[in-house]
Amino acid sequence: MTAHLVLLDALNLIRRIYAVQERPFIHAKNQDTGELSASTQQQVLFNTAQACSQALEKILHQHQPSHALAVFDSQQPCWRYKLFDGYKKGRKKMPQSLADKLNDIQDAFMQLGVDSLTSEEDEADDLIATLATKMALHGQNVTIISTDKGFLSLLSLHIKVYDHFNRRYLDDEHIKNKFNVKASQLIDLWTLTGDATNKIPGVAGIGQVTAANLLNQYGSLKAMQQADDLKANISDKLNDNEEQMKLSKQLLTLKQDIPLGFNLKDIRLTPIDH
């Protein structure tokens, strides 16, 4: 029997839900009064925890997985920060009150039969990529629950990405419409254009339209670099940014070989008594 593993990009889900729960209170308060009151903050956190559990219940009901795991980022900076100090620079940090609530949310997930995994050195994205590709290699099915475009490079016969908030699969058609390349070309595309979300630089002067056209013509960045009919201005830009592109590609590429230390049977879902 083919297994179906749901991998929850936990902080992607939790932080989005928190923002939705916080927004009405932020809009309602007087902007001169500073942060939310302690009681209001507790209400937001309570609502967030409740909504997260409800979201996970819906995900499990909709996708009917045989196995599931919620994957969390480490609270410590991962290897990408050490490799490039500009990584995710300026991104809003998680509120400490929400960080302090994560254990309770993990406990609630466990009540639904879903265990949590937190990385020590890698990002949740790397753990998810490792799990997904290992499953796919054995012909098992995986659904990644996330709005993070970085997972789209993993799409295959056995790996799907689902946007829970917009209720849609982020599939090959979505990639074609949004980026005008194939899933297998996304890392090369972002190496050229950069990734503004994570503050990963690209090649100055090459935007998404140009990058996509080049990849559709040559197939890959490597083939582009080896081509003898590349326009001189593009060739010069690639040559001038060779080291930068190597760094960017390394930052953009998800690890797929992290030692996991557990078996698939450890995350099998069992009926939960309510």
Binding residue numbers for Mg(2+): 125
Instruction: Produce one character per residue of 115-131: b if its CB has 16 or more CB atoms within 10 Å, e if not.
Output: ebbebeebbbbbbbbbb
Structural tokens at position 53: 């559990």
Alpha helices, H only, 161-253: 172-179, 186-193, 208-218, 221-226, 232-240, 242-252
Could you give the CA distance from residue 203 to residue 223 in angstroms, rounded to a whole number?
17
* Bind-site residues for K(+): 192, 201, 203, 206
Q: How far apart are the first and last CA of the chain?
A: 27
Could you give the CA distance from residue 266 to residue 252 in angstroms, rounded to a whole number?
30
Q: Judge residue 14's burial from the number of C-beta atoms within 10 Å of its C-beta, 0-12 exposed, 13-18 middle, 19 or more buried.
A: buried
**What's 33's DSSP letter?**
G
* Bind-site residues: 125, 192, 201, 203, 206
What is the Cα 113 distance to its own chain's centre?
22
Structural tokens at position 130: 């490792």
The neighbouring-strand residues paired with 11 are none
Closest CA to 52 of 6, 92, 101, 7: 101
- Find the radius of gyration of the CA atoms of the chain: 21
Could you give the CA distance from residue 184 to residue 43 in angstroms, rounded to a whole number?
44
The length of the chain is 274
Amino acid at 167: R
